[in-house]
Amino acid sequence: MPMVEKHIKSLLYDHDCVIIPDFGGLIARYVPARINPVKHTLQPPSKTIAFNEKLVLNDGLLISTIAHQNNISKEEAQALVAKFVHAAKNALQQSNRFELSEIGLFRYSSEHRLVFEYVEIDNMLEESFGLPELVARPLRVEEPAVLRTLIKERQQELAEQKQPLPLRKRIKRAYHMAAGLALAGLSVSALYFLSLQANYNMSSLNPVMLFNGGNSAYAASPVDRYAADYVPFTEEERLHHYAIMLPEVAQPGIEESDAFASEEEIVVDSASMASDDAAEFAAAESVTEVAVVEEEEAKMPAHIVNANDGRFYIITGGYVRLENAEESRAILKKDGGDVKVVLPGPGSRLYRVAVADFSTKEEAQAELNTYRKKFGETLWVLTN
């Protein structure tokens, strides 16, 4: 249905969320300016579109817009949307592909979940209207004349080094290589002839063994820890010396059982004191948390509704970000009226802007047409 697709794209310019009943919701998010390092381009800020298949509850925005723009009833507009959703689901079942014109492509994943791929054709951010994609190619800085001369001389030196060496230099290099090989051969031959001698120990050539040679005799001999005239203490002599070094200290009037009892009482008293301190600390912490919550609620502005109060609000639109909702409220505030912002409730992520609120649903429905004449046909009633 081209007409439904056209209205969906038009609503994405002005709203952060457009819900297609029984299909899902398209969510617009702000994307800052970015640089493409491959193309060397600077892209202006824009919007990117995401899809959430759990947002299937009809908020009335799409149906009211189609009915108002085409001068038809809401029942006819709802039938057009239902026909569009039916065609989209049939296309996904048959070919696993459904293209939403100039917005994106839908398909099913391997887990049979609906996946959306955004196709960025037009910049849907109004603040970036008319801003083109800028090309910023890097500039090549020319080297100074002195640096170019040095580079040229260095290149000439490298080229000369790569050229074949003169005959004299090649003979000198071959002489050094032959001398080194001859010295290595003599060393290996000397070691071989030494190993052929039966009474020669090769380990003597180890510098570590030569360094520790003076300690080998001492390490081989057994260690005698006592002198020849050593006589050990007897048991009585040892006890006598211990009694002198560690005299007994006893307090009169205190027995061993009393000492143990006092220690147990101290342990019990300390445990009870610790439990009392923990209880006082927990009570103080709970009082502090309540004070913090009350202070945060006091800081909340008066025009923001932060709890379910059972009232019925006339809503002009829903926004993913609180900043967008505040901007819409500031614009509507110029026309007069008590405009409020209803914070998202359980299961919702949208900040809704309300131009009026009533205590009963009948009063809200009765005044809905009056507010539509002033603020547009896309108004609907929210039960908070």
Statement: residue 261 has pLDDT above 90: no
Q: How many of the other CB atoms lie within 10 Å of CB of 278?
A: 10
| pLDDT value of residue 242 | 67
Quick one: average pLDDT of 225-234?
56
pLDDT of residue 148: 75
| Token pair in block for residue 29 | 């998010």
Classify residue 234 as left (phi > 0), alpha (psi -120 to 50) or beta. beta
Residue 60, H or E segment: none
Report DSSP state, residue 42: E
Strand pairing class (41-43; 104-108): unpaired
Domains and CATH numbers, the chain: 2-135 (no CATH), 304-383 (3.30.70.1070)
Nearest to 101 by CA among 80, 122, 86, 82: 122
295 pLDDT above the threshold of 60: no
Position 18 confidence tier, pLDDT thresholds 50, 70, 90: very high
Tokens of 288: 């502090």
Question: pLDDT over 70 for what percent of the chain?
Answer: 70
pLDDT at 188: 87
Local confidence band at 221 (pLDDT 50, 70, 90 cut-offs): very low
pLDDT confidence of residue 275: 52
Report the mean per-residue pLDDT for the chain: 77
Q: What is the pLDDT of residue 64?
A: 92
pLDDT interval class at 267 (50, 70, 90): very low
At residue 204 the predicted structure's pLDDT band, cuts being 50, 70 and 90, is low
Write down the pLDDT at residue 268.
43
What is d(CA 197, CA 200) in angstroms, rounded to the nearest whole number? 6
Q: Which residue has the higher pLDDT, 343 or 266?
A: 343
pLDDT tens digits for range 144-193? 777 778 888 888 888 777 766 566 677 888 888 888 898 998 888 888 87
pTM: 0.38
Residue pair 26/56 in contact (Cβ under 8 Å)? The answer is no
| Distance from C-alpha of 320 to C-alpha of 328, rounded to nearest angstrom | 12
Q: How confident is the model at residue 266 (pLDDT cuts 50, 70, 90)?
A: very low
pLDDT of residue 202: 54
Q: Which residue has the higher pLDDT, 137 or 9?
A: 9
Place of tokens 């948390």: 289
Residue whose C-alpha is closest to residue 312's, from 377, 373, 368, 375: 368
Where is pLDDT greater, at 235 or 295? 235
More confident residue, 7 or 172: 7
Which pLDDT value is given to residue 200? 53
Q: Is the pLDDT confidence value at 286 over 60?
A: no
Percent of the chain with pLDDT over 90: 19
Q: Which residue has the higher pLDDT, 205 or 377?
A: 377
Q: Which of 181-190, 220-229, 244-253, 263-272 has the highest mean pLDDT?
A: 181-190
Say if residues 2 and 101 touch (Cβ distance below 8 Å).
Answer: yes
Q: What is the pLDDT of residues 123-144, one digit of tens each?
A: 888 888 888 888 887 777 666 7
Give the Cα-Cα-Cα angle 83, 85, 90 (nearest 5 degrees).
Answer: 95
Check whether 82 has a pLDDT greater than 60.
yes
Q: Are strands 34-36 and 41-43 parallel, antiparallel or unpaired?
A: antiparallel
